[in-house]
Structure formats: structure tokens, C-alpha cells
């Protein structure tokens, strides 16, 4: 009976030693995986910060480009309106007003308002064409 208890105790002790070894191996393996994952997270965060910084810089560059293009267009419009067609001067003065008015209209009325605005612009264009034609006739005589 005593020998059986000793054998069982030895078996249980061997099982405990084996379980401790497995625990240590798993613990080392898991800590290694955790370290790898932490390194991956740190790398991903650095990449994200760099891409976010790049995005901000790109956006700033695009904003600057748009501002430069607007200035260039404004200068070209001014040049066109002062040298080529001085009679179109009212277009420059009123274009922002027309743009804001057309942008302010929302919903179902937007289409009708835009059509009315387009019709007004067509009428103005026709009157300008006739004014230019009259001006050209007077200059040619």
C-alpha cells in the first residue's frame, strides 16, 4: 500500500514538473509573441503618424495651389476685362453676387432658381453681343 502511494506521489510530482515546464515554455512563447505584437503596433503607429503628417502637408499644398490658381484666374479675368472687353466690367463686379445667390438656393427651388439665373445671364449676353456689334459698327465707319 505504501509503495502504491509513493508511486502515485512520484507520478504526480513528475506531472507537476512537466506542467511547470510546459507553462514556462508557453510563457516564453507568449511573451515573445506579445513583444512582436508590441513592436508591430509601434511601427504601425509611426507609419500612421507619418501618413497623417503627409496628408496634412498635401492638404496644405493643395489649399495653397487652389489659392494660387484663384489669384491667377482673377488676374487673367481682370486683364481680360480691362484690356479686351471693358464693357464686360459689370460681370466681374457681379459674378460673386450671382454665385452666392445661386449657391444659397436649396431644395426643390434650386433648379428653378438656377434656370431663372441662367435665363437672366443669357439675356445679358444677348444684350452685350448687340452692344459689341453696335460698337464695332461705329468703329468701322
What pLDDT was estimated at residue 42?
A: 96
* pLDDT per position as a tens digit, 59-86: 888 888 888 888 888 887 777 666 655 5
What pLDDT was estimated at residue 90?
A: 57
Rg (CA), the chain: 40
**From the DSSP assignment, how many helices (H) and strands (E) are in the chain?**
3, 0
What pLDDT was estimated at residue 122?
A: 78
CB neighbours of residue 81 within 10 Å: 17
- Whole-prediction pTM: 0.41
Query: Average pLDDT per run of 10 along the chain, which is 141 residues long?
Result: 88 94 92 92 96 90 85 78 59 58 58 74 78 60 49
Residue 44 to residue 109: CA distance in whole angstroms: 49
DSSP per-residue letters across 122-141: HHHHHHHHHHHHHHHHHHH-
What pLDDT was estimated at residue 37?
A: 94
Amino acid at each position: 500500500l505504501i509503495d502504491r502511494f509513493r508511486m502515485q506521489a512520484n507520478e504526480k510530482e513528475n506531472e507537476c514538473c512537466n506542467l511547470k515546464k510546459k507553462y514556462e515554455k508557453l510563457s516564453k512563447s507568449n511573451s515573445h509573441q506579445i513583444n512582436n505584437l508590441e513592436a508591430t503596433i509601434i511601427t504601425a503607429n509611426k507609419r500612421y503618424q507619418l501618413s497623417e503628417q503627409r496628408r496634412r502637408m498635401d492638404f496644405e499644398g493643395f489649399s495653397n495651389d487652389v489659392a494660387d490658381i484663384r489669384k491667377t484666374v482673377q488676374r487673367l479675368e481682370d486683364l481680360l476685362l480691362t484690356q479686351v472687353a471693358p464693357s464686360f466690367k459689370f460681370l466681374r463686379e457681379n459674378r460673386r453676387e450671382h454665385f452666392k445667390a445661386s449657391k444659397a438656393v436649396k431644395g426643390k427651388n434650386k433648379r428653378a432658381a438656377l434656370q431663372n439665373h441662367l435665363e437672366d445671364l443669357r439675356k445679358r449676353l444677348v444684350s452685350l453681343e448687340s452692344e459689341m456689334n453696335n460698337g464695332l459698327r461705329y468703329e468701322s465707319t
